[in-house]
Amino acid sequence: MILQLITSFIAAATFCILFNAPKRALLQCGIAGMVGWMVYLQLDREWEAVIATFGATVVVGVISQIFARSFKMPVIIFSVGGIIPLVPGGLAYDAMRKFVENDNTQAVQIATQALLLSGAIATGLVLSEVLGQMFSRRNK
Amino acid sequence: MDSTGHSNNTSIHEIIDLCLLAGKIMLQSGAETYRVEDTMTRMAASLGFPGAHSYVTPTVIMFTTSRIEPVKLFRIAERTTDLQKVSEVNDISRRLSERQITAAEARERLGEVDDAAHAYPIWLQIAAAALTGACFTVMFKGSLWDALPALFISGLGYGAVIYLHRIVQVRFFAEFSAAFIVGLLAFYSVQVGLGQEMDKIIIGSVMPLVPGLLITNAVRDLMAGHLVSGLSKGADAFLTAFAIGTGIGLVLSLF
């Protein structure tokens, strides 16, 4: 469990280096990624992967909104780091590999799963954005 | 020197160019479509053109300030992800609308941002890719023994993409070759006895290459109603996933 905590933090932060995130945002990116992955792992035990991903993304989105406000940077910087462990890049590659190996049934199945997960992430991000807007409007 | 309205020293054309430059940098750096449109119209509004319109897709920006002005167009050939630039343009646009800087100053700073190179040196990027690969191998329930070869393989794979993309302009080919190298190395590392599960090593090592973010952005654009952007980003992501899948698949079918 502690190993997962450390690796998800490092993975999210280093991925942000590849995406050239500002230096002063790397720590927050790592935190967002770590929290997202932890929530995902907890939810994944009881629910399906799609729901777990959705829940984790909402949490990541809310954290990113808070970070973006307090550090005055665009939300995308933090949300990218946060959702990187969740995005189905591995699945997309897996689906393509099955296609290349001529295992079409499996391939379509995995591709559908990848698409559903992407949808879950996108929905989660939009939901957290809406929540953020509602919250800030009430404060004004 | 104030930036309110159309001050005499900034013509309409300069304002259009300013907004287009901001949009161009953001789009090339991988900002969301709606954010690019939003930033451009906001900048125009703060310079005295509240009725500006922009239409943004991953390959082209169209922008007009009013009904009498002709539409200006900007073609985008290449896109990367560069969050630093997105953040800086965002900052400039906010200062401009808060009247902290003038249009001329904004123009100058945007030029600097446009010319700026990647902030992290290449060796650091490769080291980061290596760490990413190793960490993902562990996160996807691979053992620590598999993380060690993944560390080297993902670093080499990412370095290969950067290097190959400089020689051949076709991104598909660079990604395909890099994936092939990753597959080959993973195969041999298991053969030699460095790692146990080839699958886990490969999955971790290709993570710095796969277009996970692009897929998510594509779906998000589609949901926001940016249908053209969503579909073209999806096609882009599909092509990359295809390149990586073929590269790895080739290795697997060879052995």
Q: In terms of domains, do B168 and B64 share one?
A: no
Question: Is residue B7 situated within a structural domain?
Answer: no
Which residues share a beta bridge with B72? Answer: B63
Which chain B residues are within 8 Å of A85, Cβ to Cβ? 136, 139
In the numeric block, which tokens belong to residue B114?
């446009």
* CA nearest neighbour of A31 among A64, A74, A72, A53: A64
Q: In terms of domains, do B46 and B87 share one?
A: yes
Who among B87, B129, B135 is closest to A74 (CB)? B87
- From chain B residues 28-87, the ones with a CB under 8 A of any chain A CB are 30-32, 35, 81-87
B157-162 mean pLDDT: 86
Q: In terms of domains, do B47 and B155 share one?
A: no
* Average pLDDT taken over every residue of chain B: 81
Out of B115, B146, B176, pick the residue that ends a domain: B115
Per-residue confidence (pLDDT) for residue A138, from 0 to 100: 67
Q: In terms of domains, do B136 and B217 share one?
A: yes
Per-residue confidence (pLDDT) for residue A140, from 0 to 100: 54
Which domain does B163 fall in, by range?
122-254
The sign of the dihedral angle between the CA atoms of B132, B137, B141, B146 is negative
The parts of chain A modelled with pLDDT lower than 50 are none
Q: Where are the domains of chain A?
A: 2-139
pLDDT digit string (tens) for B108-155?
A: 888 888 887 777 888 888 888 888 888 888 887 777 777 788 888 888
* CA nearest neighbour of B196 among B143, B122, B134: B143
Q: In terms of domains, do B99 and B172 share one?
A: no
The angle formed by the CA atoms of residues B26, B30 and B35, to the nearest 5 degrees, is 55
Has the ipTM of the complex gone over 0.90?
no
Out of B82, B115, B148, pick the residue that ends a domain: B115
Q: In terms of domains, do B199 and B100 share one?
A: no
Give CA–CA dist B25/B35, Å, rounded: 12
Q: In terms of domains, do B155 and B235 share one?
A: yes
The confidence band for B10, taking pLDDT boundaries of 50, 70 and 90, is low
Who among A74, A87, A96 is closest to B216 (CB)? A87
Per-residue confidence (pLDDT) for residue B2, from 0 to 100: 43
pLDDT digit string (tens) for A45-73?
A: 788 888 888 888 888 888 888 888 787 77
* Average pLDDT taken over every residue of chain A: 82
B245 touches chain A (CB under 8 A): yes
Q: What is the pTM of this model?
A: 0.80
Q: Do B213 and A83 touch (CB under 8 A)?
A: yes
pLDDT digit string (tens) for B19-50?
A: 888 888 888 887 888 888 888 888 888 887 78
pLDDT digit string (tens) for B72-117?
A: 888 888 888 888 888 888 888 888 888 787 777 778 888 888 887 7
Question: Is residue B1 situated within a structural domain?
Answer: no
Give CA–CA dist A87/A34, Å, rounded: 14
Which chain B residues are within 8 Å of A99, Cβ to Cβ? 245
- Nearest CA distance, A75 vs chain B (angstrom): 9
Q: Domain count of chain B?
A: 2
Examine the pLDDT at B175 and tell me if it is beyond 60: yes
Give CA–CA dist B114/B111, Å, rounded: 5
Who among B82, B129, B223 is closest to A122 (CB)? B223
Residue type, B232: S
Q: In terms of domains, do B83 and B131 share one?
A: no
B239 touches chain A (CB under 8 A): no
Residue B78: how many other CB atoms lie within 10 Å: 7
